[in-house]
Amino acid sequence: MRIHAVDHPLVAHKLSTLRDERTDSPTFRRLADELVTLLAYEATRDVRIDAVEIRTPVAATTGVRLSHPRPLVVPILRAGLGMLDGMVRLLPTAEVGFLGMIRDEETLQASTYANRMPDDLSGRQAYVLDPMLATGGTLVAAIDELIRRGADDVTAICLLAAPEGVRLMERELEGAPVTVVTASIDERLNEHGYIVPGLGDAGDRMYGTA
Ligand code: URA
């Protein structure tokens, strides 16, 4: 597993406003959307392409186009849904699957309550969207499921990551074809499983339920 914390002033600027407790839900959603598009640009650096012959109005030349089968984008419900538009803005022809996962606030264990993905992902690239890599349990379970169905290259896009979650993923997904792209690896998790300094509950802040 590889982890890539994107070091870019625009990413840091948008993330700082997301973290600010005074940022309201409409602004939070817009900034999260913009931040995902910036992270998606980095995350798709190795998206598969094929050479293609094209004609410009001036001459024949060789270009590229996205390979088939197209990549699969999988937002993890609920908060990952707020990252979908920002991702498919860059990959409009991607197929979209859905995973509903919830973590027990006491045991912090993840369980699946909805699963709408193609059964056969052989040879597919997949991008998983989950804003907060906290304990890592949810992402490990989601990525295990994608690999079990045949995906051979999985990139998780997370707004924030905690070192504890990164360590769990490195341990559980050692040697797996997995990359995590994030705007920041924060300090730690607190006793409630929240990322510190973090940004609070991403779903609540996105959907105004705080
Ligand atoms: N999920 C969140 O929404 N926030 C955290 O800090 C950790 C998990």
The percentage of residues in the chain with a pLDDT greater than 90, rounded to a whole number, is 92
pLDDT of residue 78: 86
User: Which of 126, 121, 134 has the alpha carbon at shortest distance from 203?
Assistant: 134
Instruction: Write down the pTM of the prediction.
Output: 0.95
Q: Give the pLDDT of residue 210.
A: 54
Q: Convert the pLDDT of each residue in 57-82 to its tens digit.
A: 999 999 999 999 999 999 999 899 99
**Ligand 1 mean position to 162 CA, how many Å?**
10
Mean pLDDT for all residues in the chain: 95
> Can you give the pLDDT at residue 3?
97
**Is 31 marked within a binding site?**
no
Closest C-alpha to 180, from 200, 201, 162, 154: 154
User: Given the CA of residue 205, which atom of ligand 1 is nearest to it?
Assistant: 3
Query: What pLDDT, in 10s, does the model give residues 118-144?
Result: 999 999 999 999 999 999 999 999 999
Give residue 122 CA to ligand 1 midpoint distance, Å. 32
**195 CA closest ligand 1 atom index:** 6
H-only helix segments in the chain: 9-19, 25-43, 84-88, 137-148, 163-172, 202-207
Locate 32 and state its tokens.
């999260």
Give the distance (Å) from ligand 1 centre to CA of residue 68.
35
CA distance 132 to 161: 6
Is 135 annotated to bind a ligand? Reply is yes
Q: How far apart are CA 53 and CA 8, in angstroms?
A: 35
Which residues lie closer than 8 Å to 16 by C-beta, 6 or more apart? none
Q: Which residues of 101-112 are buried (b: 16+ CB within 10 A; e: fewer)?
A: bebeeeeeebee
Write down the pLDDT at residue 43: 98
Mutate to test the pocket of ligand 1, among 201, 206, 209 (most ligand atoms within 8 A of CB): 201
Give the residue whose CA is nearest to atom 2 of ligand 1.
201
> Which protein residues touch ligand 1 with a CB less than 6 Å away?
132, 134, 193-195, 198, 201-203
DSSP state of 80: G
Strands 188-189, 195-196: parallel, antiparallel or unpaired by DSSP?
antiparallel
- Cβ burial of 164 (10 Å; 0-12, 13-18, 19+) is middle
138 is in an annotated binding site: yes
Work out the average pLDDT over 46-57.
98
- 199: pLDDT confidence band, cut at 50, 70 and 90? very high
Check residue 108 and give its pLDDT.
Answer: 67
Distance 134 CA to ligand 1 centre (A): 6
Q: Within 10 Å of residue 173's Cβ, how many Cβ atoms?
A: 20
pLDDT band at 110 (very low <50, low <70, confident <90, very high): confident
Residue 162 has pLDDT above 90, yes or no: yes
Domains of the chain in sequence order: 2-207 (3.40.50.2020)
Size of the chain in residues: 210
- Indicate which residue's Cα is closest to atom 7 of ligand 1: 194
Nearest CA, atom 4, ligand 1: 201
Query: Does 48 have pLDDT greater than 60?
Result: yes
Annotated binding residue 78: yes
Asked if the model's pLDDT at residue 84 lies above 90, the reply is yes
